Amino acid sequence: MAKRVLILATDGFEQSELLEPKRALEQAGFETVVASPKEGAIKGWNHADWGESVAVDASLDQVSVGDFDALMLPGGAINPDKLRMDRRAVDLVEEFDDAGKPIAAICHGPWLLVEADIVDGRTVTGWPSIRTDLENAGGDVVDQEVAVDGNLITSRKPDDIPAFSKALIDALAD
């Protein structure tokens, strides 16, 4: 059975940061499942305007950490800001961390790591505007395309997607 990656997202996800890693994971033989507080479809953000919609495979209440091997958190300023206000989304991040399973967050996605209180003492990166939040949460913030600290994988921006995807694929291969 293929390893499964839960992708947690809602309206306003950065289109490239969901679609490109999802494609890379699937090409590497992993199954992806998009979960959202919203049913049906969620709409992406593409640079400066609304982008493509993506089908939602499951609601947050239908997913459990035990059914997945890793968690992926795409960025975009809107998506993680909405999700960090959703208790179930934050609980899922905490549960993946408690289980020691890979959690990959890119761009503004690490905001969810802050909300789940799992950044303290760990090396992380993210979009420049959230680095102060990461520091205030106790993170050792670096400016590099991917930072891996235990089960946490973080990246800064869409240009980092190849390194981000590779780091998650490598973590799943271990």
Active-site residue 47, yes or no?
no
Q: Which of 82, 84, 101, 108 is catalytic?
A: 108
Rounded to 10 degrees, what is the CA torsion of 133, 134, 136, 138?
A: 170
Around Cβ 65, how many Cβ atoms within 10 Å?
Answer: 18
Question: Tokens standing for 54?
Answer: 């993506």
Please tell me what DSSP assigns to residue 143: -
Q: Which of 9, 19, 24, 107 is catalytic?
A: 107
Of 86, 118, 105, the residue nearest 165 (C-alpha): 105
Cα 68 to Cα 118: distance, rounded to the nearest angstrom: 19
**In DSSP terms, which residues pair with 101 in a beta bridge?**
none
Of 36, 40, 39, the residue nearest 9 (C-alpha): 36
| Whole-number Cα distances in Å, 131 to 59, 143, 145, 164 | 30, 9, 14, 18
Catalytic residues: 107-108
